[in-house]
Amino acid sequence: VGNAADVLIELAGGNYSRASEELEKVTVYVGADDAIRDVDVRAVVVPSREWSIWKLIDSIVAGNVPEAFRQLRTLFTSSSKIEDQAFRTLFPMMSRQLRMLWQARVCIEAGAAPKSAPDDVRAMFPTQYSLEKANDFVVQNAMRTAKNIDLEQLSKCFQILNDADGRIKGLLSSFSGIETIESMVLEMVDVVKRKSAA
């Protein structure tokens, strides 16, 4: 049951109220079975957008382009215009996750945990989306992923995200919305891979 609970929280993007709602569906799905297994959770629970963005960022940092593109397809499944979804969901959520990674990386370099970091480290945290106030799921994900990316790479990823936003808004030259977003992912992967190979 412990592993199933972890999977449920993960797929709910660390949102405990959403996990609670999804648990009702899982309970109906397993029926009279004695236990809920992780495969039951994966069969029923629709991953949250937060989870998909974490998987996208994880895939970028790991250099796993096929998985990153798979997560993009998951995020852009509705009939809405890709550009609208990018401005409403993708760009703001990626920016938030990158901020969390930046804070996690600062903590790693200071040898501190986000929730008990010294004052000088906490002073660098933003007031909005502070890792210090995040739930355990978010903190654990950020700390795990931040081990594989440094502050310079994160800074470049922020710039790439900003450029993609500008391209879709027409401020910079671009192609279609999806091509711009795919190029953004490839550029981020390249930034992480180049530094890792050096």
pLDDT recorded at residue 127: 82
Residue 172 is predicted with a pLDDT of: 67
pTM of the predicted structure, to 2 decimals? 0.78
pLDDT at residue 101 in the model: 95
Residues 6+ apart with CB under 8 A from 198: none
Amino acid occupying residue 193 = K
Please tell me the predicted confidence (pLDDT) of residue 195.
62
| Unique residue bearing structure tokens 């199933």 | 4
Residue 48's pLDDT is what?
75
The span from the CA of 145 to the CA of 147, in Å, is 5
Local mean pLDDT, 10-residue blocks, the chain (198 residues): 73 76 82 81 78 90 94 77 84 93 95 91 85 84 94 96 89 77 95 71
Q: Considering Cα of 164, then 182, then 198, then 145, what sign does the dihedral take?
A: positive
Instruction: Name the token pair of 103.
Output: 């804070």
CA distances from 124 to 93, 118, 119, 152 (A): 20, 10, 9, 16
Q: Which amino acid is at 39?
A: V
Please give the pLDDT value at position 173.
67
Please report, as a single letter, which amino acid is at residue 90. Answer: L
Chain Cα centroid distance, residue 97: 5
Tokens of 145: 């992923």
Report which DSSP code applies to 35.
-
Q: Are 36 and 26 in contact (CB under 8 A)?
A: yes
